[in-house]
Amino acid sequence: MREDDSDPEHELRRLEVEDRRRHPRIPSTARVAMRLDSDELAGVAENLSAGGVLFFSPGELRMTLVIDEGGKRVERVGRLVRAQRMRGGKVGWAVEFDPS
């Protein structure tokens, strides 16, 4: 069965995700650049394989984002909360801004 907006379970999951969000989302095509605050993030491995590693660190991956939309440039400081490989070779980066 294909999940789409006519599927009640899919719609319920979509609404649950929206309910967890603290801030509304708006579409944007802003250019974003990320500057990492540290050259190194150290931790301890949970598991290793020939293809990669899962490790945990006591700290967060902190960064400054430079957001340029419509000629207006804004810098925001935050932390990486998720990275996800997407279709077409893209990577999605979810960054939570520090309170201003």
Strand pairing report for 52-56 and 62-69: unpaired
Q: pLDDT tens-digit profile of 5-48?
A: 566 676 666 666 656 767 888 899 999 999 999 989 999 999 99
CA 69 to chain centre: 19
Tell me the pLDDT band of 72, cut-offs 50, 70 and 90: very high
In a domain, 37, yes or no: yes
58 pLDDT higher than 70: yes
**Residue 90 placed within a domain:** yes
Structural domains of the chain, count: 1
Query: Quick check: is 19 in a domain?
Result: no
User: Is residue 65 in some structural domain?
Assistant: yes
**Which residues are CB-contacts of 7 (< 8 A; sequence separation ≥ 6)?**
1
55, part of any domain:
yes
Query: In angstroms, how far is CA 76 from the centroid of its own chain?
Result: 14
Kindly state whether residue 81 falls inside one of the protein's structural domains. Answer: yes
For residue 83 the two structure tokens come to 């990275």
pLDDT number for residue 29: 94
Q: For residue 13, is it within any domain?
A: no
| Tokens, residue 77 | 């400081």
Could you tell me the pLDDT band of residue 2, with boundaries at 50, 70 and 90?
Answer: very low
Domain membership of residue 57 as a residue range:
27-97
